[in-house]
């Protein structure tokens, strides 16, 4: 099979480090996405994680040719120590050029070591590291401006047409201060759910599903940004770092051209009572091929002024 016409975009909620070792619905979905990526000859993977942010107005792209991996506690070490990263230095330079051309203060980081927000997902997607496509990791900006991160995704979106898979990895409901950690600390167990999640967690989990599945294209970008004003947002996200990769994903999948593509909640895993690891996919390989043909026959015509503002912030 040749390159896809337009790759999908994923927003994965990586959850706790236990998600690397535990058998979960989410882990099975990550593995399925990895198999699909290989079946469609994905050229490379461009990721924004939730554990790397730059100060001031800067962002960076990882250019370490031999990155190490930071410790991943509460799991059997061989699960990640034996898995070798496959960094994509050429695409990193390309991303820097694209971001620079769009006005970002961006530079390389030749010393960055990978963190479990990215390698946990990649190990589940590609258990055999020799099959993992080349990977580029883009940082967040620590001001956590949602418009800024939507624009990062929008800027890198053209890479989807070249066969790159764009992934944001963060968390849909991810407040470490509100998790119940006892079972994980004592027993390395995070999936017990011996009591129901609290109301704010259920409410924000539902709001996120509704936003993703009921909005497409530029509407998706606007609705995702609006989620940060949801009454339960601050309970669901104690800090903004795990929600910015969702903005990146919405930016990458929120063009007018993306209006024809369905966005789905594909899998979900609750951990530590109140953490909801929702796995979202925007578009699909098949849908993109179908849509490309339709788009040629009948181009879209409306530009959204609101999104023009968002995209230039
Ligand atoms: Fe995390």
pTM of the predicted model as reported, rounded to 2 decimal places = 0.91
- For residue 48, the CA-to-ligand 1 centroid distance in Å is 12
For ligand 1, the distance from its centroid to the CA atom of residue 267, given in whole angstroms, is 18
**C-alpha 16 – ligand 1 centre gap (Å):** 7
Q: How far is the CA of 262 from the centre of ligand 1 (A)?
A: 27
pLDDT attached to residue 5: 74
- Cα of 99 vs centre of ligand 1, distance in Å, is 25
Q: Calculate how far, in angstroms, residue 18's C-alpha sits from the geometric centre of ligand 1.
A: 11
- Span from the CA of 77 to the centroid of ligand 1 (angstroms): 18
Q: Could you state, in chain order, the average pLDDT of each consecutive group of 10 residues for the chain (313 residues)?
A: 75 98 98 98 98 98 98 96 98 98 98 98 98 98 98 98 97 97 96 97 98 98 98 98 98 96 97 98 77 45 37 34
- For ligand 1, the distance from its centroid to the CA atom of residue 301, given in whole angstroms, is 39
What's the gap in Å between 148 CA and the centre of ligand 1? 20
**Ligand 1 mean position, distance from CA 172 (Å):** 11
Give me ligand 1 centre to Cα 193, in Å.
Answer: 20
Task: Report how far ligand 1's centroid is from the alpha carbon of 187 (Å).
Answer: 20
Give the distance (Å) from ligand 1 centre to CA of residue 75.
Answer: 15
Measured CA to CA in angstroms, residue 101 lies from 21, 58, 59, 312 at distances of 41, 14, 14, 13
Distance 144 CA to ligand 1 centre (A): 15
**From the CA of 257, how far away is ligand 1's center (Å)?**
31
Element spanning 29, H or E: helix 25-39
Contact 70, 114 (CB under 8 A): yes
CA of 258 to the centre of ligand 1 (A): 28
CA 15 / ligand 1 centre spacing (Å): 6
Sheet holding 164-170, edge to edge: 105-109, 58-62, 135-141, 44-54, 164-170, 9-13, 275-282, 263-271
Q: What structural domains does the chain harbor? A: 9-312 (3.40.830.10)
Residue 39 main-chain phi, psi, to 5 deg: -65, -25
- CA distance readout (Å), 135 to 11, 27, 166: 16, 19, 10
- Cβ(159)–Cβ(166) under 8 Å? yes
74: Cβ contacts below 8 Å, ≥ 6 apart: 16, 17, 18, 184, 188
In the reported structure, the alpha carbon of residue 305 is separated from the centroid of ligand 1 by a whole-number distance in angstroms of 34
């Amino acid at each position: 099979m040749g390159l896809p016409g337009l790759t999908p975009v994923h927003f994965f909620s990586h959850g706790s480090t236990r998600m690397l070792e535990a058998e979960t619905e989410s882990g099975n979905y990550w593995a399925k996405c990895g198999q699909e990526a290989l079946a469609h000859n994905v050229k490379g993977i461009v990721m924004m994680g939730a554990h790397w942010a730059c100060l001031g107005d800067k962002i960076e792209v990882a250019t370490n040719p031999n990155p190490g991996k930071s410790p991943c506690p509460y799991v059997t070490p061989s699960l990640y120590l034996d898995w070798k990263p496959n960094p994509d230095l050429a695409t990193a330079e390309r991303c820097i050029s694209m971001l620079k051309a769009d006005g970002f203060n961006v530079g390389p980081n030749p010393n960055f070591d990978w963190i479990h927000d990215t390698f946990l997902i990649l190990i589940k997607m590609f258990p055999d590291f020799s099959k993992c496509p080349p990977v580029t990791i883009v940082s967040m900006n620590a001001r956590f401006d949602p418009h800024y991160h939507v624009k990062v995704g929008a800027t890198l979106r053209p890479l989807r047409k070249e066969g790159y898979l764009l992934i944001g990895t963060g968390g849909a409901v991810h407040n470490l201060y509100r998790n119940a950690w006892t079972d994980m600390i004592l027993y390395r167990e995070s999936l017990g759910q011996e009591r129901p999640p609290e109301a704010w967690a259920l409410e924000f989990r539902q709001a996120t599903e509704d936003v993703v599945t009921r909005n497409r294209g530029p509407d998706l970008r606007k609705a995702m940004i609006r989620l940060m004003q949801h009454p339960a947002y601050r309970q669901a996200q104690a800090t903004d770092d795990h929600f910015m990769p969702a903005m990146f994903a919405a930016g990458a999948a929120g063009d007018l051209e993306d209006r024809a593509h369905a966005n789905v909640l594909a899998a979900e895993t609750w951990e530590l009572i109140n953490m909801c690891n929702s796995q979202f996919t925007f578009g699909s390989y098949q849908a993109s091929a179908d849509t490309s043909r339709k788009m040629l026959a009948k181009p879209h015509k409306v530009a959204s002024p609101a999104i023009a503002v968002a995209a230039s912030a």
